[in-house]
Amino acid sequence: MSLTLAVDGERWRGHLRSVAATTPGLVPVAKGNGYGFGRGRLARKAQWLADQGLGVDTLAVGTYEELPEVASRFAGSLLVLTPWRPWVADLDPGLARRVVHTVGRLDDLAALRERDPAARVVLERLTSMKRHGFSGDDLRTALASGRHEGVAVHLPLAAGAHLPEVERLLGEAGNTIGALWVSHLTADELGRLRSAYPSLVVRPRVGTALWLGDRDALQVTATVLDVHPVARGEAYGYRGRRAPRAGHLVVVSGGTAHGIGLEAPTGQGSVRARAATVARGSLDALGRVRSPFTIDGEARLFAEPPHMQASMLFLPAGARVPAVGDRVPVRVRFTATDVDRVEIT
């Protein structure tokens, strides 16, 4: 029995069509774990959008290692978001002309063109994220050095400063960009950008808002694998912990191999978010960590740290006890969770 992502297919497909129809130049992103769906499935859905006549001609992936999985499922161009470096292996000749490389350093641009003069490239400008990309002066040099397919900018998630930064970068580059490959702009910001620069081709790279934009169409559930009554003080688990009071141990599918119980910094800086972090740390120190699994309407405590493929939860006396085989909801971070099955109705 498994950790399962159930998808309301009609609703999800309707959302995908709506986003594609209202986002001219859309470049779907299928990287990492495929936003919980898997990269191959998203590549097929991108091809489906293309077949619907919705203008999807390019799919973005995160790394060169991800190309083989999507190349056989999507027929168009493939943009690699990680900048090209000289240690990247040569591509299969049948794939090379479909790949659009991201380049952010003059040395790399020269090396790539020496290796493959016909290579397709997008030039990345360094933004306030300070992750990858050319400086303003180096971008102007790169733009003047030869053929390219536009300029890419990867903007921070913080709202409010996107358009001014894009406009500043456009002002630096002049009229030689051709196409702007951009992330994290809202529909309103994209509309304002197109109105201000009518000759500019805008290519929005969209992942989360496309695949996960209608969360009500998606539900992750775990299967109840076992249920055991425990008395107060009774030992259980790998570490011989003792039950704080009478209740039940509920063993459910989903563990560290799926990403359950593994956390990454959220970047939330509010006082409330920091207080919640401190509270979670205090509970952790006491061996009381709230799990993402919901039973009888409440997120239940881990009885002990999650196992590799299953988790053990403590259910206090008085709560409704699920039966073996029942499914219980799980709150997950889709980009960090690998489910066992995806069921699309």
Task: Give tens-digit pLDDT for 146-171.
Answer: 899 999 999 887 656 678 888 888 88
Please tell me the distance from the alpha carbon of residue 59 to that of residue 30, in angstroms, as a whole number: 7
Of the candidates 331, 311, 316, the one whose C-alpha atom is nearest the C-alpha of residue 254 is: 311
Tokens matching residue 54: 């919705």
List the chain domain ranges: 9-213, 216-344
The answer to whether 211 touches 20, Cβ cutoff 8 Å, is: no
Percent of the chain with pLDDT over 90: 79
pLDDT in tens, 290-309: 999 999 999 999 999 999 99
Q: Does domain 9-213 have CATH number 3.20.20.10?
A: yes
pLDDT in tens, 181-203: 999 898 999 999 999 999 999 99
CATH architecture of 216-344: Beta Barrel (2.40)
Q: Residue 129 — very low, low, confident or very high, per pLDDT cuts 50/70/90?
A: confident
pLDDT in tens, 52-101: 999 999 999 999 999 999 999 999 999 999 999 999 999 999 899 999 99
The answer to whether 69 touches 40, Cβ cutoff 8 Å, is: yes
As a whole number, mean pLDDT of residues 213-241 equals 97
As a whole number, mean pLDDT of residues 14-41 equals 98
For residue 173, pLDDT beyond 80? no
Please tell me the distance from the alpha carbon of residue 26 to that of residue 28, in angstroms, as a whole number: 6
Q: How many CB atoms are closer than 10 A to CB 217?
A: 20
Three-state DSSP at 182 gives strand
For residue 284, pLDDT beyond 50? no
Please tell me the distance from the alpha carbon of residue 142 to that of residue 44, in angstroms, as a whole number: 34
- State the pLDDT at residue 203: 98
The backbone region for 251, taken as left when phi is positive above 0, alpha when psi lies in -120 to 50, beta otherwise, is beta
Please tell me the distance from the alpha carbon of residue 219 to that of residue 253, in angstroms, as a whole number: 15
* Residue pointed to by tokens 């593994």: 262
DSSP code, position 91: P
DSSP string, 263-275: -------SHHHHH
